[in-house]
Amino acid sequence: DSGVTQTPKHLITATGQRVTLRCSPRSGDLSVYWYQQSLDQGLQFLIQYYNGEERAKGNILERFSAQQFPDLHSELNLSSLELGDSALYFCASSASTDSYEQYFGPGTRLTVT
């Protein structure tokens, strides 16, 4: 168990809908990262938050957004969903101070039908 929790584990929804994925980092970790794993693109970085502020952006679509709350949990919002958004979405956390090792949550498997 990495100490990173994600909910829900599975999500099935229709095209055009909006969903929210939730992540709680390891106790004490200030950075939260979101990654997407799809069959055709592999594992790709989406976005990073550090202590409530956006720190880095990767290949994140404009239909996707994220935020990190004062208690350091994070949410990834996916809107106007398309079939191609079906993927495994991982959250990871790190201390980002004395250590940059990232610990991954169990993932949320999103299926868009």
Partner 1 sequence: GIQVEQSPPDLILQEGANSTLRCNFSDSVNNLQWFHQNPWGQLINLFYIPSGTKQNGRLSATTVATERYSLLYISSSQTTDSGVYFCAVDYRFGNEKLTFGTGTRLTIIP
Interface with partner 1 (CB under 8 A):
2, 31, 33, 35, 42-45, 48, 55-56, 58, 88, 90, 92, 94, 96, 99-104, 106-107, 109
Pick 70 or 100: Cβ nearer partner 1:
100
CB of 16 to partner 1, least distance (A): 26
Question: CA 54, CA 32: separation in Å to the nearest integer?
Answer: 10
Pick 68 or 94: Cβ nearer partner 1:
94
Pick 11 or 92: Cβ nearer partner 1:
92
CB of 88 to partner 1, least distance (A): 6
| Neighbour tally for 10: CB within 10 Å | 9
In the numeric block, the tokens 């594992």 are attached to: 43
Question: CA 110, CA 78: separation in Å to the nearest integer?
Answer: 10
Q: How crowded is the C-beta side of 83, counted as CA atoms within 13 Å? A: 1
